[in-house]
């Protein structure tokens, strides 16, 4: 039972070189993701300030003053 066609060493070497060249190409720009992460971090920080403010000012007081 034969599983495929015979492939010469030259073809294998050519495919390896093509794959290495493909992997060596630089990735595209990630500026949009970087900007989005900064915005989310700032919004998270601002949200954290409002949550802290709410927790400080809106504490439950029991009838005995605690």
Q: Considering the domain boundaries, does residue 20 fall inside one? A: no
CA dist 34 → 39, 41, 59 (Å)? 9, 11, 38
Give residue 15's pLDDT: 92
Give residue 32's pLDDT: 84
Q: Considering the domain boundaries, does residue 56 fall inside one? A: yes
In which domain, by residue range, is 57 found? 29-66
Quick one: three-class SS letters along 43-60?
Answer: HHHHHHHHHHHHHHHCCC
Alpha carbon distance 53, 66 (integer Å):
19
Give residue 66's pLDDT: 67
DSSP assignment, residue 22? H
Condensed to tens digits (0 to 9), the pLDDT of residues 11-63 reads 899 999 998 888 888 777 778 878 888 888 888 777 777 877 887 777 766 66
> Based on the structure, what is the number of domains in the chain?
1
Token pair recorded at residue 9:
């060493």
Q: Considering the domain boundaries, does residue 22 fall inside one? A: no
Give residue 54's pLDDT: 80
Q: Considering the domain boundaries, does residue 2 fall inside one? A: no
């Amino acid at each position: 039972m034969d599983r495929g066609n015979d492939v010469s060493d030259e073809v294998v070497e050519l495919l390896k070189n093509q794959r290495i060249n493909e992997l060596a190409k630089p990735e595209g720009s990630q500026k949009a993701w970087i900007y989005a992460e900064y915005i989310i971090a700032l919004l998270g920080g601002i949200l954290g300030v409002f949550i802290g403010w709410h927790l400080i000012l809106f504490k439950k007081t029991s009838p005995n003053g605690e």
